[in-house]
Amino acid sequence: MGTVAPGFRIPPWRLERVEAARMKTMSALMRDPNPIHFDPEATRALGLGDRVVNQGPANLGYIVNMLLEWVGDPAAIRRLRVRFEANVFAGDRVEAGGEVTEVRDDGGGRVAVCDVWLRRDDGQRLVSGTAEVVVDEVG
Amino acid sequence: MVDIEELRERLVGRELPGGSFSVPPYESWLMSDVLCSPPLPEGVLHPTYVFHAGMRGVGFDIASLLDLVHCRPEDGPMIGETDLRQVRPLRVGETLRGSTRVVDLVRKRGRSGVFDLMRVETAIRDEQGSAVAFLTNTYVFPRRS
């Protein structure tokens, strides 16, 4: 995995295709009645096109997946602050990425502060923000 | 269009009804599947559940939250920003309690028209009262009529 230091690029996490069927399950799990996640008629009515829109927390989850694959332990994820910048649609191919900007010892462990993002394969930035992750076990 | 000052007066600083919830194993499985998650340690919830705790730790659901601010699902409400802090991982089956407060509500005008931004803070505690996570969400409520 290499030494964690400013400039270290977190291995990216990719999803080849965002599936509409998964959005329906997510709507049920979240008790979310917003029809843009399961009814293309709703997205058309809002001028968003013919494809349903992925839930924000799912997009957040892809960034979490990238961090989990990097550090291994869910407990290592201390903080995640993000802005949702653009919609992710059914059929999109997305990639979560990140880069370490600072490493500090906060008394509870060595913490990497990272810029994180989610992008579509056309380069559109979808989500961006920062993460704080304990990297004692990473290197 | 609902009056912003009336909304602010009614909501800013208001504690929303508290609630408790727990996540059964099958929901945890489904969430991991939905998110295409890497394998998690036995009994540990995906950290994204902190976000869900921010909704389910409130005494009402998303539909009720929309009613509170006079926004319809078909208006296209969205999450704008989130700040998720995890003290320790949430666990499958444990009872968690949320306390939620509206901290800000402002009206903006952008390219797509008028919208309201509402910032809400939630603290998630376990049955012993120990904090396990904190969440600050900023919701976007388009005002189309």
Q: Give the pLDDT confidence of A82-99 residue by residue, as tens digits.
A: 999 999 999 999 999 999
Chain A residue numbers with beta carbons less than 8 Å from the beta carbon of B73 are 33-35
Angle at A49 between CA A19 and CA B115, to 5 degrees: 105
Contact partners, residue B31, CB within 8 Å, separation at least 6:
A29, B23, B37, B45, B46, B48, B49, B52
B15-21/B96-110 β-pairing: antiparallel
Amino acid found at A22? R
H or E stretch at A61 = helix A56-71
**pTM for this prediction:** 0.92
**Contact between chains at B86 and A75 (C-beta distance less than 8 A):** yes
Q: CB of A52 within 8 A of CB of A22?
A: no
Distances in whole angstroms, Cα of residue B80 to Cα of each of A111, A128, B73: 26, 11, 16
Question: Residue A80 forms beta bridges with which residues?
Answer: A131, B84
pLDDT of residue B59: 63
pLDDT at A136 over 90: no
Compute the mean pLDDT over every residue in chain A, rounded to the nearest whole number: 94
Q: How far is the C-alpha of A117 from the C-alpha of A99, rounded, in Å?
A: 9
Q: CB of A97 within 8 A of CB of A110?
A: no
Which sequence spans correspond to the domains of chain B?
4-142
pLDDT at A55 over 50: yes
Residue A26 contacts B where some CB pair is shorter than 8 Å: yes
- Of B27, B81, B89, nearest to A29 by CB-CB distance is B27
Q: How far is the C-alpha of A46 from the C-alpha of A44, rounded, in Å?
A: 5
Q: CB of A95 within 8 A of CB of A82?
A: no
Q: How far is the C-alpha of B125 from the C-alpha of B109, rounded, in Å?
A: 37
User: What's the rounded mean pLDDT across residues A98-109?
Assistant: 92
Residue A5 contacts B where some CB pair is shorter than 8 Å: no
Q: How far is the C-alpha of A97 from the C-alpha of A129, rounded, in Å?
A: 11
**Contact between chains at A29 and B78 (C-beta distance less than 8 A):** no
For chain A, list the domains and their CATH numbers: 9-134 (3.10.129.10)
User: What's the rounded mean pLDDT across residues B17-30?
Assistant: 92
Chain B residues with CB under 8 Å of a chain A CB are 27, 30-31, 33-38, 40-41, 44-48, 51-52, 55-56, 61-63, 66, 73-74, 76-86, 88-89
Q: pLDDT class for B37, splitting at 50, 70, 90?
A: very high
pLDDT of residue A1: 45
pLDDT at B61 over 80: no
H or E stretch at A101 = strand A94-105
Structure tokens at B8: 């602010």
**Contact between chains at B81 and A83 (C-beta distance less than 8 A):** yes
User: What's the rounded mean pLDDT across residues A44-59?
Assistant: 94
pLDDT of residue A109: 86
pLDDT of residue B111: 82
Contact partners, residue B54, CB within 8 Å, separation at least 6:
B98, B100, B120, B122, B124, B135, B137
Assign domain B4-142 to its CATH superfamily: Hotdog Thioesterase (3.10.129.10)
Q: Which residue has the higher pLDDT, B74 or A59?
A: A59
Chain B residue numbers with beta carbons less than 8 Å from the beta carbon of A46 are 74, 76
Residue A80 contacts B where some CB pair is shorter than 8 Å: yes
Compute the mean pLDDT over every residue in chain B, rounded to the nearest whole number: 90
pLDDT of residue A74: 96
CA-based R_g, chain B, Å: 16
User: What's the rounded mean pLDDT across residues A41-65?
Assistant: 95
pLDDT at B86 over 70: yes
pLDDT of residue B145: 62
User: What's the rounded mean pLDDT across residues B69-88?
Assistant: 89
Q: pLDDT class for A123, splitting at 50, 70, 90?
A: very high
- Of A31, A69, A75, nearest to B62 by CB-CB distance is A31
